[in-house]
């Protein structure tokens, strides 16, 4: 099963959205130091827009994310180890995900979202790369 198929499966998508939202929450909570404080503050501002906002955004972005990530995932499947392949290609994965969020942030209606994204974009690739191994395991759980 491809990532696109999971995202397009109404029986599977809600659990994927929930797990991805939890992953984002936990990744942000694990950040430390000054950069971690900035990430946490920006995330809190965006999360405070309305209850369920992060899950709503995840739900809306999943199709685009799957379109970008499916080729990388398929390469890993062909090699027999999609999680290892994703992790080994964490820079590609991060670039693929950030290409979507960069485009979406430019059109965000909320100045809070745009402002938080712009402030955190400089460190975003490093943060996304750090989350890739966990993301890969999450995806493997849902693709099976």
pLDDT digits (tens, 9 = 90+) for 29-49: 999 998 888 889 888 988 888
pLDDT for 74: 96
For the ranges 17-31, 69-83, 100-114, the lowest mean pLDDT is seen at 100-114
pLDDT for 115: 85
Q: What are phi and psi of 55, to 5 degrees?
A: -60, -40
Average pLDDT over every residue of 15-19:
97
Q: What percent of the chain shows pLDDT beyond 90?
A: 70
Q: pLDDT of 52-98, one tens digit each? A: 999 999 999 999 999 999 999 999 999 999 999 999 999 999 999 99
Report pTM. Answer: 0.88
Task: For the chain, give the mean pLDDT.
Answer: 92
Question: Does the CA dihedral 50-51-57-59 come out positive or negative?
Answer: negative
CB-facing half-sphere around the CA of 119: CA atoms within 13 A? 17
CA 29 to the chain's CA centroid: 15
Question: Does the CA dihedral 104-31-91-75 come out positive or negative?
Answer: negative
pLDDT band at 134 (very low <50, low <70, confident <90, very high): very high
What angle is formed at CA 129 by the lines to CA 12 and CA 32, rounded to 5 degrees? 105
CA 22 to the chain's CA centroid: 11
Identify how many contiguous H helices and E strands the chain contains and give both numbers: 7, 0
Q: 36 vs 134, which has greater pLDDT?
A: 134
Average pLDDT over every residue of 118-134:
90
């Amino acid at each position: 099963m491809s990532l696109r198929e999971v995202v397009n499966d109404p029986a599977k998508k809600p659990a994927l959205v929930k797990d991805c939202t939890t992953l984002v929450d936990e990744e942000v909570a694990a950040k430390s130091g000054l950069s971690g404080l900035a990430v946490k503050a920006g995330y809190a501002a965006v999360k405070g827009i309305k209850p369920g906002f992060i899950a709503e955004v995840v739900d809306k972005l999943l199709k685009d994310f799957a379109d970008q990530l499916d080729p990388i995932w398929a390469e890993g499947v062909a090699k027999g180890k999609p999680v290892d392949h994703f992790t080994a290609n964490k820079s590609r994965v991060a670039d693929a995900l950030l290409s979507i969020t960069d485009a979406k942030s430019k059109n965000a209606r909320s100045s809070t979202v745009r402002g938080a994204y712009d402030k955190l974009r400089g460190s975003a690739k490093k943060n996304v790369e750090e989350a890739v191994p966990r993301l890969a395991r999450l995806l493997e759980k849902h693709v099976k």
